[in-house]
């Protein structure tokens, strides 16, 4: 559709004269008239009655029929223009597992917001397997997960590495280390960490001896850990959150395997996200997530 002609037609209707329409559009009357003629030629219909002696414009029957459509176009055109002015230059849809969204990624989200130009983020939470599918289907642009799976169109790169430590409540004089045989498996608050951890766990504590309480968020561990006999195994990144409740942390012997996380992107990212992903990678390097938890305790 001839946008300039539509603009001229609605201005003529609102201004009621060709001169007033020219003022509204900051054009000459001849320019307005030319645009209107182009629109009428495209539509194959005369919209404005141009007979001499008329003090104000008069719509032809075709013009009367077309006017509601023109007004709808005017409204929609304004909404589109307003939307376009608000669309950020850079935007990313980011997916992550719960523990990383809460305890690892906030500094990255803040850095993306403060970057110049800023990268606007839409953040969502899912489990690792779901996030692989969301990356492959392009529902999210980048994801942070705790498992390395194989999807043909998903690129996975190591992101963080951190120790797993024992969390307990009770005495202030707990030693810095605790042996696995000193922890009663039936009092564990179990979290389903990745496969290497589960294999290690089953070797240290036979599955038939473990407790019945399994949780899927670290917040639940924080809220449920009340009894001195209870314990849980958590990643280093969650320690500041847990210590807000004055809980105690110990190194475990034998040590669990480190918790690894991975950054996922599509092997063929959308062209609209390439620059934002480059900014993301620059900030990840700058914030040094690979070594973020070395020597935390």
pLDDT at position 237 is 92
Helices (H), the chain: 3-15, 18-25, 29-43, 61-86, 98-103, 106-114, 128-136, 195-204, 218-224, 239-243, 274-287
Instruction: Write out residues in the chain with pLDDT < 50, as ranges.
Output: 294-297
Q: What is the pLDDT of residues 46-67, one digit of tens each?
A: 888 877 656 667 888 988 888 8
pLDDT at position 72 is 81
Classify each residue of 168-201 as buried b or exposed e, where b means 16 or more C-beta atoms within 10 Å of its C-beta. Answer: bbeeeeeeeebebeebebebbbbbebbeebeebb
Q: What is the pLDDT of residues 80-111, one digit of tens each?
A: 665 555 555 689 999 999 999 999 999 999 99
Domains with residue ranges and CATH for the chain: 3-86 (1.10.10.10), 91-161+259-291 (3.40.190.10), 164-253 (3.40.190.10)
Averaged confidence pLDDT in the chain: 87
Q: What pTM, to 2 d.p., does this model score?
A: 0.68
Q: What is the pLDDT of residues 168-196, one digit of tens each?
A: 987 778 899 999 999 999 999 999 888 88
């Amino acid at each position: 559709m001839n946008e300039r002609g539509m603009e001229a037609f609605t201005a003529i209707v609102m201004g009621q004269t060709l001169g007033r329409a020219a003022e509204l559009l900051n054009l000459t009357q001849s320019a307005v008239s030319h645009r209107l003629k182009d629109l009428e030629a495209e539509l194959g219909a005369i919209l404005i009655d141009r007979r001499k002696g008329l003090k104000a414009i008069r719509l032809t029957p075709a013009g009367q029929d077309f006017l509601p459509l023109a007004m709808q176009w005017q409204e929609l055109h304004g909404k589109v223009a307003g939307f376009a002015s608000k669309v950020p230059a850079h935007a990313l849809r980011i997916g992550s597992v719960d523990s990383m969204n809460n305890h690892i990624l906030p500094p990255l989200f803040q850095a993306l917001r403060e970057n110049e130009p800023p990268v606007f983020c839409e953040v969502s939470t899912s489990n690792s397997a779901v996030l692989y599918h969301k990356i492959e289907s392009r529902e999210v642009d980048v994801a942070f997960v705790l498992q390395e799976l194989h999807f043909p169109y998903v690129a996975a790169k190591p992101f963080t590495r951190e120790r797993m430590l024992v969390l307990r409540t009770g005495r202030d004089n707990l030693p810095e280390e605790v042996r696995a045989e000193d922890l009663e498996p039936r009092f564990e608050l179990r979290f389903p960490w990745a496969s290497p951890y589960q294999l290690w766990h089953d070797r240290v504590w036979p599955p038939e001896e473990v407790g019945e309480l399994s949780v899927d968020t670290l917040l639940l561990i924080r809220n449920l850990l009340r009894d001195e006999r209870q314990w849980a195994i958590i990643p280093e990144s969650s320690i500041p959150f847990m210590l807000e409740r004055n809980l105690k942390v110990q190194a475990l012997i034998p040590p669990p395997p480190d918790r690894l996380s991975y950054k996922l992107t599509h092997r063929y990212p959308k062209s609209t996200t390439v620059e934002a992903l480059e900014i993301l990678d620059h900030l990840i390097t700058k914030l040094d997530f690979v070594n973020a938890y070395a020597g935390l305790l």
